[in-house]
Structure formats: structure tokens, C-alpha cells
Amino acid sequence: MAEVPGTLEGWYALHDFRRLDWPRWNKLSRAEQEEIVAEAAAFVQHAESPAEGSSALYSIIGHKADLMFIHLRPTADELGALERAFNRTRLAEYTSQPYSYLSVTELSLYEASARGGSDDPEELKKNPFVQKRLKPAIPAVPYVCFYPMNKRRGEVVNWYAADMEERRRMMREHGSTGRKYAGEITQMITGSMGLDDWEWGVTLFGTGMLPIKKLVYEMRFDEVSAKYAEFGAFHIGVRVASLDDVLMG
């Protein structure tokens, strides 16, 4: 049996996608739309100002959704409360939920130990690098890309049967690719085994859309991706400064 690497977990994450029923929405009067948007904006403002955690709203480009909320909170219960709170708004009556993803911020113990200089999980959690990874702030940049992924466990190659040192080597090489884009892209890795249909969620916050494309493309050539990675649907969004801009045109 291959060695199982330990992990550290931080905040729970919910990627909540919403699709607007535009024909029904467009039948509303301007006054009704303004009232509904004002209520939804109050929900967004409340969500983006928690005691602990972080939230942000994005306008999704393409057919997969219209809006995406990203919520980070200390407990999964708080995420469920946020989801229900939005569902009680009038705007929710004009939306469906085509997709959502539940996960938790995660950092492997071997990466945390390499950066934190300790093997004690409790001591590592106090390290600033580890704290930043487990309790991240959502960056104030305009673009986001979210996708889920698995590591292959098939007949030919199986990530979970590979030697620990080999996995570490491949992940170090993979990480070196990501560090080339420091300043342009901030990456958030969340674990979802037992929580959702894929094994990890990857959220890329970018200053531009092309750096996101180039990073994902370049990482395809890393051994860990070329041999072992399987990817779900990609969702691209733009940070919403005002719901008026998205819903009122």
C-alpha cells in the first residue's frame, strides 16, 4: 500500500452557480427589478463582510451559468446558511442552480513541513504561509477560473499507487510552473474527497484572462498533469462590482 500523505484543512468553500431566467426577468417592470436587485445587493454586501471568511460574486461568461458566488467560511454549516439565505431572496425566484461545488481549503503536510520548518501539525497551522493557504482572502482581481479535477487511478497509471517520493517530486515540478505566474495569478486548492464528485477544486484568481489560459496550458505539460490529471468543466467569470451592471444593463 502506498503511503498516505497527511493534510491540513482550513476554511470550507462553496462555489454556488446560478442561472437567471431571462425571459421571466425581462417581463418585470423596471421598478420591480430595482427592488429585487437592491435586496440581492444587500445579501451580497452582508456575505462579503463576515466575521471570519470571505465571499465574492462573479458574472460567468458563457452558457454554463450567469452568476457564481464563492463563499469561504470556518464551517460547512455557515455555507449552508448562506445558500439558504440567498434562496430566500426574490432574485432566487428567477434563478436556477445548474451547479455547485463543496470543498475545503487543503495543504499537504509534506508541503507545509517544507515551508513551515516543522512536522508538528499544530505548530504548522501557526505558520504565516500555512495560514495564508488554509484561510485565504479572495483577491481583489477581476478574473476567476474554477474547475474540478481528479488524479487518475486506472489500469495503466495510478496516482494513489505511486511512491510518496515520486509524487512529491512531480508536485514540486508542478508548483514551480505555477510560481512563474506569481503576481498575475493566485491559486486556491480545495479538497473535496467525500464532499463532492471530484477530488479537488482549483480556483485561479487572475489579473487578466490570458495568464490563466497560459498557466493552465503550460501545466498540461507537467508530468503530474500529462500522466495523472483528469479535469472537469471550466468556468470563467468576471468580478461583479455592482449587480446593476449585470442585471439591469
As a whole number of angstroms, the distance between CA 57 and CA 48 comes to 9
Cell of 246: 449585470
Q: Where are the alpha helices (DSSP H) in the chain?
A: 22-26, 30-47, 76-87, 109-116, 121-124, 128-134, 164-179, 209-219, 223-228, 243-247
User: How distant is the alpha carbon of residue 246 from its chain centre?
Assistant: 21
**H or E segment to which residue 197 belongs:** none
**Does the annotation mark 147 as catalytic?**
yes
Q: What is the DSSP string of 77-127?
A: HHHHHHHHHHHTSTGGGGEEEEEEEEEEEEEEHHHHHHHHS-S-HHHHTTS
Query: Which residue is catalytic, options 147, 181, 217, 228?
Result: 147
Tally of residues, the chain: 249
User: How distant is the alpha carbon of residue 210 from its chain centre?
Assistant: 19
**H or E segment to which residue 202 belongs:** strand 200-206
Q: Which residues are catalytic?
A: 147
